[in-house]
Structure 1
């Protein structure tokens, strides 16, 4: 069940992150960025989940996806 939730939150986070960073990406890339961002954000901001609940996990996922896009644009393009 958590894997499905990770995909759903990751997809939403990837969509928001690609729009915030103003990049055009296809659906698989958007999903991958969102899911990896959710993993990164979940690891970095894990303690916020305990303090504030599920909303912090979504914020962490978006921030992780934005960070991943920034790293990708800065170092790999």
Structure 2
């Protein structure tokens, strides 16, 4: 997956994940969360990506971003 595609998918995933988890962040944080989530989701769901194609990449990126938001909120409250 190219870097440009990762940024595009990451931005979309970050936007979706922050909206699904009702988190208000600025655009840079949203994109950063999405890109990190795309990396996490890409590693975890690599087998799913091979079976389902690009749609699985978006699903994995959103799930990874949601996991990252959950962890961020958990550690931020302490």
TM range (shorter): over 0.9
Task: Please list, as runs of the form range in 1=range in 2, the aligned pairs for 1:22-61 lying within 5 A after superposition.
Answer: 22-61=22-61
Runs of 4+ in 1 over 2 A off after TM superposition: none
Q: Which runs of 5+ in 1 are unaligned?
A: none
Q: Normalising by structure 1, what TM-score? A: 0.96
C-alpha distance in structure 1 between counterparts of 2:76 and 2:43, whole Å: 23
Deviation at 1:75, TM superposition (A): 1.8
C-alpha distance in structure 1 between counterparts of 2:76 and 2:51, whole Å: 35
Q: Which runs of 5+ in 2 are unaligned?
A: none
Aligned equivalent of 2:16:
16
Q: Deviations over 1:15-46 (max 9, x none)?
A: 00000010100011000000000000000001
